[in-house]
Amino acid sequence: MSTISIYRTEFLTFSTNGSRPRHKFQRLSLSPFMKMDSKSTEKVPKEESSIKLQTSSIPQLENPRPSNLRFDRLQPSDQELNQDSRLEFGKFVAREAVLDEELWTAAWLRAETHWEDRPGERYVDNFKRKFAEQEFNAIKRRYSGQHGQTYTCVVTVRKEERNVKRTVLKSVVGTLDFSIRHLLHGESFPGEREKHLFCSISRTNLNRYIYVSNLCVAKSARRQSIASNMLYFVIESARSEGVELVYVHVHRNNEPALELYQKIGFEMVEMASSQLLKQQMYLLCYKT
């Protein structure tokens, strides 16, 4: 992850009624097997916007089998979405993903981020496509509410502009996941399991916390405060849900990410499990 500079945004808004937003859109299903062909990618005209961002090279489907994903689908307007929980900053908006096309784009951004340091590796495009398929299906499973967790996929999209129409693929520039979880009985932080190998989940409001993962920003859209504002969105969501602690794991060698979280107010958890130390991971916590 490249270093992301943080600065005060033009304005921040966050409105919520204390409940999860209701969407007008139904998520669409995706065939489990898809054949990708970069040659079939439709050429998209140059962006008619004051934001100078490069379009991410997201592959299109050849559609050898029926698929409900529409890669020419226009980004819905704010009026169509009717979302209460959203955070506006500059020329972007952070909110929950509502369309399967948004979930697919989020999965592809994660694939590009995962493989961006290995561009010369053989068959890297095939690996990225496979990674994106698996991540898309994983996102859908997380939304099914497995393990009693409340899951949300956050995306950052470009704000509406007059007389400018964008597809979903060209609009989404950042993503992260967060889920509301419960500490195991006897745990003081997530992953403290050496002394509690056989423990049940303690489902009380005091033991709830939010866990953040899969934060990434399109390479062409970095250094525009996108990552930090998605984290602010998570923090405000935690407050509206009455959750006091937000946790995230960061690799100890990922200095840009550590700097980002610490600038926002995350602090290192003093006591870490030996398993985390073996994996060279740090556990950071934000207290709302």
Give the catalytic positions in this structure: 261
Cα(137)–Cα(35) distance, integer angstroms: 15
Residues near 138 by Cβ (< 8 Å), separated by ≥ 6?
none
Contact criterion met (CB below 8 Å) for 169 and 53: no
Residues near 240 by Cβ (< 8 Å), separated by ≥ 6?
16, 18, 85
Q: Using CB atoms within 10 Å of the CB of residue 117, give its burial: 0 to 12 exposed, 13 to 18 middle, 19+ buried.
A: exposed
Indicate if the alpha-carbon torsion angle 192, 196, 199, 204 is positive or negative: negative
Which ranges of 7-146 does DSSP label H, i.e. alpha helix?
78-81, 100-115, 124-143
